[in-house]
Amino acid sequence: MKLFAPRLRRALSILTLFALCTGAGAEFLPVAETTLPLSQNAALTDSVLRDDNTASLRRERVVSFTPGGETIPRVVYGSTLFGETAMDDIEAYPAAWNYDVLSGVNGSFFDFGTGIPYGAVVTDGALRTSGDLEAVGFRADGTAIIGKPGIAVRLTFPDGTAIDCHLNKTLTRSNGLVLYSRDYDSRTKNTQNAFHVVLGTDEPDLLLGTTRTLTVRETGEAVSCPIPEGGFVLSMAVDTEYPGTLQNHLLPLKEGDVLTVSVEVDPAWADVVSACGGMEMLVQDGAVKQDFLLTSAKQRSARTAVGVREDGTVVFYTVDSRDSTGMTLPELAEKMLALGCRNALNLDGGGSTALRARLPGTESTQTINTPSDGKLRRCANFIFLLLPKTEAGQAAQLFAYPYGAYLLPYGSVELTITAADERCLPTAVPEETVLTAEGGEITDGNIFTALTPGQATVTLTAGEITGSLSLTVLETPDSIGVFREEDEKTGGGSVFCNETPDFTARATYAGEPVYASDKSFIWSCDSVIGAIDENGLFTPVKTYTPLQGEVRCAAGEKERRIAITVLPDHPFPDTELHWAREAVKTMYDAGVMQGAEKDGVPYFRPDDPMTRQEFLTALVRSLGTDLAQYEETELPFADTEEIADWAMPAVRAAYALGYVSGSARDGALYAMAQSPISRQEAMTILARTLPAEETEPEEDPLAVFADTQNVADWARQSLARMVGKGIISGMNGELRPREPVTRAQVAKMLAELRN
């Protein structure tokens, strides 16, 4: 994918040719590449590469700028050196200097506990913290230098003794003298007892290559000492490894004594106005480094680097590890050489790696890479590309976003159209802007729909102003996921045969989502479970037994299969038009009542009578009775041996709970477990499971039934309760109490009882 400003095409072609000729990262082949201008002398290239042997992806970004134009690089840190700041928070700082941020990358390695960078930092030509690590420095005209800056901070005491010291570093027993300014913080924030010398000066900024006079204001011991505005604090651990320096040079100092501090620097760095330290050189004088001290050197991790080409072009490079393989330091060194860098420096990486940029025609910066922490890490400092604030001019360029997008045929993406002046500053999009497309079509003004695989191009035209966006229309994505559109759940699993789930698919390519519609995929399924249309709408077959099969979704050579089980919406075909159909299903789903199979199909037999043991088994299941509690219950029935084994636990529980007491005959009790149970018997047992009524009804609920006289005296009160609670309502105005209760009637009673 390429979206080129005309003036960048030649430069990018040369860069690509150079990378191919050097053979850098030979196992990774380009998948996509987009270049966008950030200003008249800066550009962003966003690339995806793939290792075909392992299918690994590498996401890398290059920001390059040519010194001499308006764009300038500057190192920026928070309000103090102590503590870390996120890049998006610190981007507000340049606005106070009347600059806009075009782009930024993370800078120095730093101490996680304090945020103090390990190397030197220079801003506005002044040294903010010292360090002897390799660094990158920028001059006022934007030209860069990479290497050892040769910075040394030297104190001269009243007796003429000169001693090197550190500037704005965390004090330890072993690092000797540390000089603190307000750049560090408002206090020294030491963690151990120290001897402090408070110093005043008329020139608080320590410019490179200059000497400042410092006057002693006071001395004393403390763990942490306030740093005066416009002044310094010279500190040394009381328990220092250099007691001679403490005894001979610090302790004798008194108010009014004069010291000098000088900042020495390599002559090649004398005119540097902004700098930050890295960790190790990657490329030096055109040769890649082979050995590295960093413990993670051989690990593939997110990396950030800066390099300078022979012609002075400055290159900022990031590679991700969250959605990418990352790089080892040797690989990074080879990459920076392949990008044409004569000298290159390793900056902080891992979770610190971040790149932000303001894309042409847009108002604000955005994070371009994918930070491996999942969000921007708070870091010590950053290197920004800045552009002087000015009013935008007339529209001179047109752009469309999202850049670098992938689509499948029939996939659509809504384009955001922007316009920019010659400096890439956002301006109003001309009203006459027209979009045309090759390889697809434009609808509703700015929606692009892909038609055929290949490179599609959207051309933007407004009079003589033009722009273009190249989009990749894929034939085969890397992956396909199938989901149910109504609830976004993974597509596989169970479907009831009365449902018509609408399946949808999502595809990815090179680690990125692919714009697609349901018609972008070929849908099919096993005919035994149903049919699916071109939009993924699945219609199951009618069934009373579970059916298993697959739904398939394909695009090109990639196919996703999901297992589907079609379930009956109702388990029993013989209840299709029955009045108790829903009650039967409720009891079946609850595991209370079951059917019996015939020729592999389950039947409920809704109008068959129930035996007493069948009824009691369904009842205790419905109540959720713990049958294990009644295993030792002795039954008094003379016909106990006639109770089926499967019903015995339920009968024991029902007897122990007082639901049944048996029928007396010839001086003995009988369970009559295999005899049909009448409606009034069943309702009497059900009534016994209910809490006792506190008051009697004023009117007899049974009086409305034509056959109320047929209700046995012993059952009348129970039936009245059941009618009063709406658990039974009779049939055609009759209770029919002496008729055998049917399986459907029991299902209805138990369902009402559960409500």
Q: Tell me the domain boundaries of the chain.
A: 66-147+272-391, 152-264, 406-472, 479-567, 574-754
Average pLDDT over residues 337-345: 98
Average pLDDT over residues 37-64: 93
Compute the residue count for the chain: 755
The distance between the two most distant Cα atoms of the chain, rounded to a whole number of Å, is: 129
Give the C-alpha distances (Å, rounded to integers) separating 168 from 30, 128, 213, 497: 45, 7, 18, 73
Average pLDDT over residues 282-310: 95
Please state the pTM of the whole predicted model: 0.77
User: Which option is the CATH number for 479-567: 2.30.230, 2.60.40, 3.30.420, 1.20.120?
Assistant: 2.60.40
CA 77, 80, 81, 86 torsion-angle sign: negative
DSSP β-ladder status, 406-407 and 512-515: parallel
**Which residues neighbour 111 within 8 Å (Cβ) at sequence distance 6 or greater?**
117, 118, 170
CA 129, 130, 135, 138 torsion-angle sign: positive
Closest to 739 measured CA to CA, from 707, 713, 716: 707
Mean pLDDT, the chain, integer? 92
Give the C-alpha distances (Å, rounded to integers) separating 573 from 224, 544, 570, 577, 598: 85, 7, 7, 9, 11
Say if residue 6's pLDDT is above 50. Answer: no
Lowest-confidence segment of 18-27, 86-95, 233-242 by average pLDDT? 18-27
| More confident position, 100 or 544 | 100
Say if residue 490's pLDDT is above 90. Answer: no
Residue 282 and residue 147: Cα distance in Å, rounded?
10
At residue 420, what are phi and psi to the nearest 5 degrees?
Answer: -140, 155
Lowest-confidence segment of 347-361, 362-376, 574-588 by average pLDDT? 574-588
Average pLDDT over residues 211-215: 97
Say if residue 196's pLDDT is above 90. Answer: yes
pLDDT of residue 694: 59
Query: Residue 159 CB: number of other CB atoms within 10 A?
Result: 9
At residue 614, what are phi and psi to the nearest 5 degrees?
Answer: -65, -45
Average pLDDT over residues 119-140: 96
Say if residue 19's pLDDT is above 60. Answer: no
Strand arrangement of the beta sheet that strand 355-357 belongs to: 72-77, 381-388, 99-106, 355-357, 366-367
Say if residue 705's pLDDT is above 80. Answer: yes
pLDDT of residue 363: 93
Say if residue 687's pLDDT is above 60. Answer: yes
pLDDT of residue 14: 33
Say if residue 632's pLDDT is above 50. Answer: yes
Q: Read off the amino acid at residue 207.
A: L
Give the C-alpha distances (Å, rounded to integers) separating 619 from 319, 612, 642, 746, 753: 68, 10, 20, 9, 10
Preceding omega of 402 cis (within 30 degrees of 0): yes
